[in-house]
Amino acid sequence: MFGQGASSTVESQVTDIAILGAGAVGQLICHQLHSAGFAVGLIARETSASTSEATDWQDLVFCPLPSTDADTDSVSYRVPTFNLDSTSLQQIRLLIVCVKAYQVIGAISPLLDKLSPQCHILLLHNGMGPHLALAPKLQGRGLSLGTTSQGVLRQSRWQVKQTGQGLTQFGHFTGPALSQALRDGLLNAIPNSEWVEAIIPSLWQKLAVNAAINPLTALHQCPNGALAQAQFTQTIASILDELVEVAAHDGIALDRQMLEERVYRVIELTAANFSSMHQDVAHHRPTEIEQISGYICDRASAHGLSAATNAQMCQAIKQLSAITPQT
Ligand code: KPL
């Protein structure tokens, strides 16, 4: 049977890599690692049998992938769920956290005391900020960060479709470095991926894309391509001006012209897509505004700067979310 299998328990499960978060990106990365031969498992929230809604981050279950069924452009998983036991958690050498930015701390906290002290953690989400909150809680573990522009759509609970092969970048942030073998394995498994010496500038560049596109598409309820219209030029320019200035005060030199070109390239390449924030607002889900525009505002105020346009985006999205009740 494909789809959600019945819950059962296992004595132990040998797992090199676990993915925390079974959203579209988590499932895609899981599939890519599994296809490359890794013993990989997916850690997800238990879904309530009565409502199919995800429960809270205390009720995590382990979903190893015994087999995949790939047709040409979509992937289904046979997913029995296993109770998370301490033996399986101790065997994980790399935990890739693929939950939404605002979920990172809540999702990883119940696991931190149970993971091996050698387990390396890799955060992969839109926006910035959770790495700063997580760093002091690592208990000596290494932390890497990443950003991905792979396009992926969730078609049903356990079915995802890859819609684009955008760049994925990883890099070290703090603590012991990820082993060379796991680094090589990751790069080999994930198409169009690279390990960069300085990951923070790459995260700022991706932040610029999300800060320019996500709030505007959510506020104007439009696909990404609509932002090529002249009415948005000035707002996008201000968002980028502020971001470049704040990043410079954080010690990160960004090429303003190159950023703008990148934003408009993404707008063109993803013209028909609806941004993740547009989708979150449309489905009454929490958004990543605090970790996107909000992060720029936080860093601005840390340096005594103003980031008026990003603050305006933040405010407007929060107002929009307040009038569209979240589920
Ligand atoms: O990352 C994205 C998102 O929607 O979150 C972009 C690049 C804007 C593509 O839609």
- 137 in catalytic set: no
SS3 state at 60: strand
- In this prediction, what percent of the chain has a pLDDT beyond 70? 83
pLDDT digits 0-9 by tens, 116-148? 999 999 999 999 999 999 999 999 999 999 999
- ipTM value, please give it: 0.96
Residues whose beta carbon lies within 6 Å of some atom of ligand 1: 126, 209-210, 213-214, 224, 266, 270, 273, 275-276
- pLDDT of 162 reads 83
DSSP H or E segment with residue 45: strand 40-45
Centre of ligand 1 from the C-alpha of residue 42, in Å: 23
Contacts of 3 (CB under 8 A, 6+ apart): 76, 79, 156, 157, 158
Residue with tokens 């073998």: 181
- pLDDT of 153 reads 79
Lowest-confidence region among 68-77, 137-146, 266-275, 286-295: 68-77
Mean pLDDT of all residues in 205-224? 98
- pLDDT of 57 reads 65
- In this prediction, what percent of the chain has a pLDDT beyond 90? 66
Centre of ligand 1 from the C-alpha of residue 276, in Å: 6
The protein residue whose alpha carbon is closest to atom 2 in ligand 1 is 275
Rounded CA-CA distance 13/98 in Å is 21
- Given a cut of 60, whether residue 67 has pLDDT beyond it is no
Q: Which two tokens stand for residue 306?
A: 């103003």
Pairwise pLDDT comparison (261 vs 22), residue with the higher score: 261
195 torsion bin: left (phi>0), alpha (psi -120 to 50), beta (else):
beta
Sort strands 74-83 and 159-174 into parallel, antiparallel or unpaired.
Answer: antiparallel
The protein residue whose alpha carbon is closest to atom 5 in ligand 1 is 276
Mean pLDDT of all residues in 294-305? 98
Rounded CA-CA distance 262/45 in Å is 35
Phi, psi of 305 (to 5 degrees): -105, 165
**For the residues of 181-239, what is the DSSP string, one character each?**
HHHHHHHHHSTTEEE-S-HHHHHHHHHHHHHHHHHHHHHTT--GGGGGSGGGHHHHHHH
Rounded CA-CA distance 47/60 in Å is 9
Residue with tokens 């132990």: 12
Rounded CA-CA distance 275/137 in Å is 32
Rounded CA-CA distance 58/55 in Å is 8
Closest ligand 1 atom, residue 278 Cα: 4
- Given a cut of 80, whether residue 183 has pLDDT beyond it is yes
Could you tell me the pLDDT band of residue 195, with boundaries at 50, 70 and 90?
very high
Mean pLDDT of all residues in 193-208? 98
Pairwise pLDDT comparison (258 vs 34), residue with the higher score: 258
Residues counted in the chain:
327
Lowest-confidence region among 7-11, 37-41, 81-85, 194-198: 7-11
Residue with tokens 């547009």: 278
Pairwise pLDDT comparison (43 vs 156), residue with the higher score: 43
Mean pLDDT of all residues in 268-295? 94
One-letter amino acid identity for 114? K
